[in-house]
Structure 1
Amino acid sequence: MELFHENGHLTDEALSALKCGRALSDLSRLEIAEHLAYCDVCLMRYTDLLAETELEMPMRSCHGGLWHRIRLRSIRILTSRYATAAAALIIVFSLWGFGIFGGIVERSSQLSQSDTTFTQNLGSWPQQWNDSLNSIFDKLDGAFSAFSGNSNHNWRETNHES
């Protein structure tokens, strides 16, 4: 059986064999499927060929059961959303009743007072940083001097820092 015409399109015999499910090898089915995937002309011919056949009816309708499941799922989603919101409200009101939020308000006022103290002491920070860095470098210098055996060597003198 010829699958393709000289112009590269599928033959009518190949399309009807595919439609009826006649004996086609796996390789032939694969070639036909690959051709139908990119050739719109042959795909339209195959669609027209399938449109002539009568569609099969299902054994039982899924209309009633499907709508019933959709309704149940929408009710379940709706109630779970409201249940989550209600639980969150109960937790918030319980925490409020125990006075947890009062402590937060007090802590907030304490933080705002400490913020003004922080900004007032901000000007002394550069000097404090400089002093602490100098002490760190002095300790490192002492450690390296002890390690190298040169106790008279000073890091600041080498780098000409004051």
Structure 2
Amino acid sequence: MSLYFDNNKLFDAEGHLTDEGLYAIKDGTLDDLGALEAAEHLSFCDYCLLRYTAMIDAAPDCMKQPMRDLIPQVQSLMRLRSFRIMTNRYVSAAAAVVLGFVMWGAVSTFGVPNAAALLPQQPAARQERFGTKFNTAVNGFYKSLDDTFKSFTLTAENGLDQIRAQSIGGSTAKGE
């Protein structure tokens, strides 16, 4: 015995959906081809669409309700998509800011060349000047990185000292 409705019984002699065909649509017992043919027919046949709508309206209220609530699922999907959109915006903005700072640092370190710098020079003098500027830039980078790590370490130590002070103060208060 087949689980699906017989597609030969889907339409009557006039080309409209049969009552059994409409019930098969409602029950979901049509195979893929039958469901496609029925959906296409309902898209242009007002007579069958009215019959199908009346059949659904006559169903008990418990049959008209969805099987599960989709609102939480849709809300979580919307939150995820809005998070992705905002993250993409902030990442792009952060990349633009970092690129701006890098370019600003490069211009301030190496300077903007003047017309005299663009004229041919002795290769040794040009190389020496580039080496000096490059070393200055690298040393400045390492110095700022070192300062950042020192600042981070100092902040972390201050935080740990505060936590220790609170835990010692709290233990003495409990002991009193």
Normalised TM-score (structure 2): 0.43
Normalised TM-score (structure 1): 0.46
Give the structure, 1 or 2, with the largest relative contact order (CA under 8 Å, sep 6 or more). Answer: 2
Flag the structure with larger Rg.
1
